[in-house]
Amino acid sequence: MSKKILPLVLGAAMGVAASAAHAGTLEDVKAKGFVQCGVSQGLPGFSNPDAQGNWTGLDVDLCRAVAAAVFGDASAVKFTPLSAKERFTALQSGEVDILSRNTTWTMSRDTALGLNFAGVNYYDGQGFMVRKDLGVTSALELSGASVCTNTGTTTELNVADYFRANNMPYEIVAFEKADEVVAAYDAGRCDVYTTDASGLYAQRLKLSNPGDHMVLPEIISKEPLGPVVRQGDDQWFNIAKWTLNAMINAEELGVTSENVDDMKGSDNPSVKRLLGAEGAFGEAIGLSNDWAYNIIKGVGNYGQSFDANVGPDTPLGIARGVNALWSKGGVLYAPPVR
């Protein structure tokens, strides 16, 4: 996060957020009939609208899953595109019910803004993209470079740390909106574009000649991205958290949108609890006991969402890597429903 923006956001957290974070988000959401979800202003694979205004992406699916859990209808959600600078204020003020916007979980954001991160739906790290004709193959060769990035993000601080640690001078060129950063880089106003590696793959698709650009191998930070809600409403926090956990557990248990009806008859106790055939786990968070069934039926499990939005067969072409299940060499591991 930009140092210039931090005092403004902290002030908002102590004032607006304190009144907005009341225990009653679920009731408010039910009363209006939809979940209001804060997303990016257009990041392919994560939250991106088409020409008709239909939103898709990994972060979008998380919001659709929350809607499915609450209403049994994954379409009962509306999307608010937000810049990096305004996203936290929008959540603090109650403009959105949940923020699912490729947002990095950090200590200051988790403790000083009146917000709670509900988990990690994508483990990322900050990288660098350059033109191939620049002739560099490593970020360590970027001494003296001009670097384009977003204001109001962790990227500015990470860049400062990386270049200082490696005794390299640099010039930052920052913009509020992601599309402004892309346009500036594409126009040659800077040598380097830096953001989360997933974002680099997504934004490269918007460049005039995507094939002329490459992502350098260095990853300079930990960027655990995940959904965010306001502090002070444990029930809504639990709904957001267990929606993500349900999608991860479903993949591990082999439950998909295609087979979920058949799996309702499974003899596996873990599957029975997940799908509401045993226990009253939905009631414990104010939902019906088929809450997770509705998520999987309407949206799919985590692996299905990943493959459809950012996986190897999509334009982004991102391998599962660390975002694979813990049982398959990754770090995805959800607490059990029991």
Summarize pLDDT for 231-264 with one digit per residue, the tens.
999 999 999 999 999 999 999 999 999 999 999 9
In SS3 terms, 133-171 reads as HHCCCCHHHCCCEEEEEECCCCHHHHHHHHHHHCCCCEE
Regions of the chain short of the pLDDT cut 70: 1-23
In this structure, the dihedral spanned by the alpha carbons of residues 41, 151, 165 and 104, taken in order and rounded to 10 degrees, is -50
Q: Which DSSP symbol is given to 328?
A: G
* CB 228, CB 91: distance < 8 Å: yes
Dist CA 234 CA 237 (whole Å): 5
Chain segment 57-80, per-residue pLDDT in tens: 999 999 999 999 999 999 999 999
> What is the CB neighbour count within 10 angstroms for residue 317?
11
**Prediction pTM value:** 0.87
**Interhelix angle for 291-298 vs 58-71, to 10°?**
140
Q: 152 CB contacts (<8 Å, ≥6 apart)? A: 1, 2, 5, 83, 84, 85, 86, 87, 176
Closest by CA position to 165, among listed 146, 186, 139? 139
Percent of the chain with pLDDT over 90: 89
